[in-house]
């Protein structure tokens, strides 16, 4: 009989995520070019929306640290909406429940993805938020586990991780062998241009997904 374990309990470190899913991080710069090349320009309305987003973030952040829910509402959700992920051809699921069978079915991991983006019923992106007191990289082990739960093995999976202060992007391919790569971290709380860059990458990922 399968043993059910919460993802947050079973996958706490990057080592655990890599070993349980036979994952490896690639240093090949050609693996994840989407965050560096051919980034779209921003319209005046997008500039205005991003300025509003950052102003709100700074306003609420001035009272102290933000919890995970506030980070999702103030940063993650507005970025996804502005980048078009809440509009056709995409679908959004919040708190999407997932199960991942590992060890030949001896153990099943259960969890909930903060925001799951689909296109034609295929997973294309996950969002994982953390509170501002926690490093954005602390969301990586859990995010990798959720990305490995994607039933479509042939297409790349993308993730966006944020703690409200920083944004980090992840790309994962399950075949021929599970590999992932990271973007650099974008300090959206500290530098105005970093928020714009993070949004340009998110927008570019959406366009790339539609065109493939």
For the domain with range 23-93+113-211, which CATH number is right: 3.90.1570, 1.10.260, 3.40.50, 3.30.70? Answer: 3.90.1570
**pLDDT of res. 72:** 95
Is the Cα torsion angle 157, 177, 110, 15 positive or negative in sign?
Answer: negative
**pLDDT of res. 107:** 84
Report whether 177 contacts 146 (CB < 8 A): no
**pLDDT of res. 75:** 96
Report whether 96 contacts 110 (CB < 8 A): no
**pLDDT of res. 105:** 64
Of 210, 212, 207, residue with least CA distance to 37:
207
In the block, tokens 């709380």 appear at 189
Exposure letters 94-114 (e unless 16+ CB within 10 A, then b):
eebebebebeeeeeebbbebb
Identify any residues that bridge with 117 across adjacent strands, giving them in sequence order: 92, 125
**pLDDT of res. 141:** 94
Of 100, 115, 206, 193, residue with least CA distance to 161:
115
> What is the pTM assigned to this prediction?
0.94
Low-confidence ranges of the chain (pLDDT < 50): none
Separation in Å, CA 174 to CA 73, 178, 179, 209: 31, 4, 6, 17
């Amino acid at each position: 009989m399968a043993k059910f374990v919460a993802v947050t309990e079973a996958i706490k470190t990057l080592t655990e995520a890599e070993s349980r899913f036979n994952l490896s991080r690639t240093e090949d710069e050609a693996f994840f070019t989407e965050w560096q090349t051919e980034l779209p320009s921003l319209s005046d309305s997008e500039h205005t929306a991003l300025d509003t987003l950052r102003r709100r973030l700074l306003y609420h952040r001035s009272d102290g640290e933000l919890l995970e829910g506030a980070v999702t509402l103030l940063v993650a959700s507005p970025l996804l909406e502005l980048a078009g992920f809440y509009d056709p051809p995409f679908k959004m699921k919040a708190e999407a429940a997932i199960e991942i069978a590992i060890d030949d079915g001896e153990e099943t991991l259960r969890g909930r993805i903060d925001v799951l983006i689909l296109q034609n019923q295929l997973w294309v992106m996950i969002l994982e938020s953390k509170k501002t007191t926690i490093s954005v990289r602390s969301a990586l082990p859990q995010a990798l586990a959720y990305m490995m739960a994607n039933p479509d093995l042939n297409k790349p999976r993308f993730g966006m991780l944020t703690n409200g202060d920083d944004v980090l992007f992840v790309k994962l391919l399950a075949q021929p062998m599970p590999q992932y790569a990271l973007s650099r971290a974008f300090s959206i709380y500290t530098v105005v241009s970093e928020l714009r860059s993070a949004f340009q990458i998110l927008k570019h990922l959406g366009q790339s997904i539609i065109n493939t």
